[in-house]
Amino acid sequence: MTLGWDGRRSGLHYDRELKVKRSERQADMKHKYKGMISSDWSECLAPSGPFDPMAFVYPELKAELSEVFRQYTGNQITLSEATRRIGELLPKPLTEKQMDAYLDASFVTYRGVTDLMRWCQKNGLLFMINTTGMQGYFQRALARGLLPEGIVVAANPMISYPRHGIEMYEVREIEDKARNTETVMAKYCISAEKLIVMGDSGGDGPHFAWGAGMGAYLVGSMPKPSLEKYCKEKGVKISTRFGVTYSEGEKRDLEREMKVDFIGLVAVIEEVMGNQEKR
């Protein structure tokens, strides 16, 4: 079909309408959230460790994997060094089937964690899991409906599967946690005053230090002595401690941890976001 001038003009008008609508959608996405929580996962929102799936599949490596985790969370080795050591220990990466078997047998969060995520979504808050755990763990957990859709995940790509539309970022070094938080904040136009950073150990220290410099609210969730030590040395003030607080040399008390209801953080979040609204 041959188009005359009127046809060409209509086509140009249609293109302009598409561009306007696209810009409007982008603007809506940028202002979709009024605040954000960027939280570690292991021993912070869930009692498990980032290397537990490997220990499940290769139980003979449990002691060595636990030692690598202890050295990393104690800020004795870098995340990339921990990943390198894990890679050398594993005969081969975990398959999706093996990860699913681990999730079927062992997936658990602290009480009320998924309820808290859903509450955040209903109240216009973006929830981001920002962790040294494996991407594949969260890809399969989301695919199987163990975590609510709509959360953002940043995790280590050492074990990774097809993403299926999940908004996901990489954590290769511990400093990537802050970079990923900042990237997501910029994407959705979220100010630092409406950011809550959560963590439990010294591995979260750099994220806390960055958050403190930005003016974010810092929550120590099941805080360990390594986090307290890091923050004290760096002059970082933890805004709130939530859950079981541990002193130096004290053993983890999983029974006490599992009694903590994370819906209790709603009051903290409301107060933080409410105070920001009043500024």
Task: Give the pLDDT confidence of 189-205 residue by residue, as tens digits.
Answer: 999 999 999 999 999 99
- Here the CATH number for the domain that contains residue 257 is 3.40.50.1000
Q: How many domains does the chain have?
A: 1
Q: What pTM, to 2 d.p., does this model score?
A: 0.85
Task: Give the pLDDT confidence of 123-164 residue by residue, as tens digits.
Answer: 999 999 999 999 999 999 999 999 999 999 999 999 999 876
Is 56 inside a domain boundary? no
Q: HSE (CB half, 13 Å, CA atoms) of 213?
A: 9
Is 45 inside a domain boundary? yes
- For 240, phi then psi, to 5°, come to -145, 140
pLDDT above 60: residue 29: no
How is residue 170 written in tokens?
């990489």
How large is the average pLDDT for residues 77-93? 91
Is 216 inside a domain boundary? yes
